[in-house]
Amino acid sequence: MVSRALLAVFLFASIAAAEEVVPYVPTVSIVISVPEQKLTVLRDGCFWKKYPISTSKFGIGDSYGSYKTPLGQLRVCEKIGEELASGSVIKQRHATGEVLPANSPGRDPIVTRILWLDGLEEQNHNARSRGIYIHGTTEEGKIGKPVSYGCIRMRSQDVLEVFEEVTIDTPVSIISDKFPKYAKYTPPKPKVIAVVAPPKPTPAPAAAKPAAVPTPPPAIASAATNPPKKVASFSSAPPPPVAEYHPPVVVPESHSSVTVSAVSNSAVAHAMQGSILSAGLPDGPRIPTLPEPPAPKDVTRFGQMGPNPVRDKGLSLQDPALNVTPAIQAADADANARSTAAKDQDSADGTTKPASPIAFRAGNSGNKSKQ
């Protein structure tokens, strides 16, 4: 039973949520009876409320300057004083700022609210221009009697209620008879209509937002936040020592009694390469030793490339730039000394040996050896 009751409540709530109650707005009209000095508010043609009033003490009519109350069908053409307090004095349709209590002695102004009427028939077409209103009065003690100057007077509390009930173009009927019998107004049942909820719109796919690039904070120059950069200091150390040049050590080669010096840097040795003078024969001529050349000035340091050595030209004994005269003279003297020593030895032995088949002379190529 409990589950069924809960199910019924759930269904009722869902139905109620799917329905909407439409408020009913009745049609309002006003009927004023001059003989009864009453104003009746009708809703949908049925009686709703009745208020006491006062019409003109000069009777019924619509002519200018007559101060009479017009008859016939009229309408509300303007509503004035909606924000005013009860008892506020209104002059020429504008509030003066003065507020009077009911039944103020010696005062008979228009107060609280105004419903301006406009005639719809020939017999009341001057009503608007004449300024025929439904308005509040301070002489509430005289309400119910014809004491006005053409308008319809009401008590301030009553005119407030009628003002809220009517709208622009609400019909107003002023009759010279008593009210007919009206049915009592009964509010109709509210209309309930089903409400179909509109389909929910499909949300559009959100566009991918680009990644925000963080903005670096502005740099503030200060000694605390920005320490000075360290500068590498170079001490005035002396340059590394230059390697001292030493010429290569040449080991002399000994062949019996003749010593040949292999000095690679000697210009004479280069000039005599391939000749008989450098053959290392036992009886060969002695070659004078030339002084060693000085060490080159430009010596290669650490990691540096020295200048390319200048290649020597090919030298020969006929090179006019080479002075080989001392060597030739020494060779000739040595050959003559040997020849003389040999002859003396032969004479002492008593035998004569033929001359050496090879006559050695280092000189010009035009001098040939004799046999």
367 pLDDT tier (thresholds 50, 70, 90): very low
Set out the domains of the chain in order of their start, with CATH numbers.
28-175 (2.40.440.10), 256-286+316-348 (no CATH)
Q: Tokens representing 64?
A: 């200018």
**Nearest by Cα to 111 from 166, 154, 55, 172:** 154
Please, are residues 91 and 110 in contact by the beta-carbon 8 Å criterion? Answer: yes
* Average pLDDT over all residues of the chain: 75
Q: In this predicted model, what pLDDT tens digit does every residue of 76-114 receive, in sequence order? A: 999 999 999 999 999 999 999 999 999 999 999 999 999
Write phi, then psi, for 72 (nearest 5 degrees). 105, -165
For 347, what's the count of Cα atoms within 13 Å in the CB-facing half-sphere? 6
Enumerate the β-bridge partners of residue 47.
Answer: 42, 184
Please, are residues 151 and 133 in contact by the beta-carbon 8 Å criterion? Answer: yes
Beta-sheet strands, E only, within 296-363 = none
Please give the average per-residue pLDDT across 219-243, as a whole number.
54
**Nearest by Cα to 55 from 145, 126, 139, 187:** 145
Q: In this predicted model, what pLDDT tens digit does every residue of 251-303 receive, in sequence order? A: 555 444 444 444 444 555 555 555 555 555 455 555 556 666 665 555 555 44
Q: Do β-strands 133-137 and 152-154 pair in parallel, antiparallel, or remain unpaired?
A: parallel
